[in-house]
């Protein structure tokens, strides 16, 4: 049920807030009247006016009970006794490597940050989410369904995150809505930096998408806002593709 005008300010928690998509999420939710808790493992960058910034290491949160307890204390203090309307699990690491090069440490870090931390956050914040009749949005990836060489660990973690989204929706039922977004290439500063000095390669990446371009962080944020609203309550356990049509494209060199 949507809140009326006399309800307390809505609250959102966004992980991976310092990255390109994370910043867009923080900005979008803040502009739409949410009190935003922005979480990342790096010190607070400039430009987080209007949001509460928490420096938390999500890998430690997923593996260290003492650190987890401190994190809940910090988050609960900022929530001021109110519920949590939306949790956006956006933080992720992308360790590239093939079957013959990935180490167990690579795998453990990838799974800790990309899968176990989102689970720990949902589990730990479940009472706050229920209190606000809230929603969870997991930022998964097109790699959950379609991938390429040297993305073994990342693709596996995102496939598991999308699977966990569906399973959580079944497990939690009507208590909390859980959905995921599966973006393809998004024009973050990190992605652009990877193509520095290679404009032809970047143009190729754009051209291989049927829309002739790649997505923007603002588009991911707009979709997250729509899912978080009370207007799409029947959307539950969905993994929504946001890929400019590339997932339907058959690449045939012949």
d(CA 18, CA 118): 17
Catalytic residue flag (residue 154): yes
Sign, CA torsion 217/219/220/222: positive
The residue from 34, 53, 154, 202 that is catalytic is 154
Catalytic residues: 154
């Amino acid at each position: 049920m949507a809140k009326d005008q006399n309800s307390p300010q809505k609250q959102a928690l966004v992980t991976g807030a310092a990255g390109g998509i994370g910043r867009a999420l923080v900005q979008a939710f803040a502009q739409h009247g949410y009190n935003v808790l922005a979480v990342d493992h790096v010190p607070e960058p400039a430009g987080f006016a209007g949001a509460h910034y928490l420096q938390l290491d999500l890998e430690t949160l997923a593996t260290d009970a003492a650190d987890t307890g401190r994190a809940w204390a910090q988050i609960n203090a900022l929530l001021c006794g109110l519920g949590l309307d939306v949790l956006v699990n956006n933080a992720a690491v992308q360790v590239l490597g093939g079957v013959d090069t990935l180490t167990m440490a690579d795998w453990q870090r990838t799974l800790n940050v990309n899968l176990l931390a989102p689970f720990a956050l949902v589990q730990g914040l479940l009472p706050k989410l229920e209190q606000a009749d809230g929603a969870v949005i997991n930022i998964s990836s097109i790699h959950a369904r379609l991938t390429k060489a040297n993305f073994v660990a990342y693709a596996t973690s995102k496939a598991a995150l999308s699977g966990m989204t569906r399973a959580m929706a079944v497990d939690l039922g009507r208590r909390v809505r859980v959905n995921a977004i599966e973006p393809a290439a998004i024009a973050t500063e990190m992605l652009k930096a990877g193509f520095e000095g290679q404009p032809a390669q970047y143009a190729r990446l754009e051209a291989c998408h049927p829309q002739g371009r790649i997505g923007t962080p603002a588009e991911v944020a707009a979709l997250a806002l729509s899912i978080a609203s009370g207007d799409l309550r029947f959307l539950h356990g969905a993994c929504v593709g946001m890929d400019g049509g590339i997932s339907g494209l058959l690449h045939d060199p012949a």
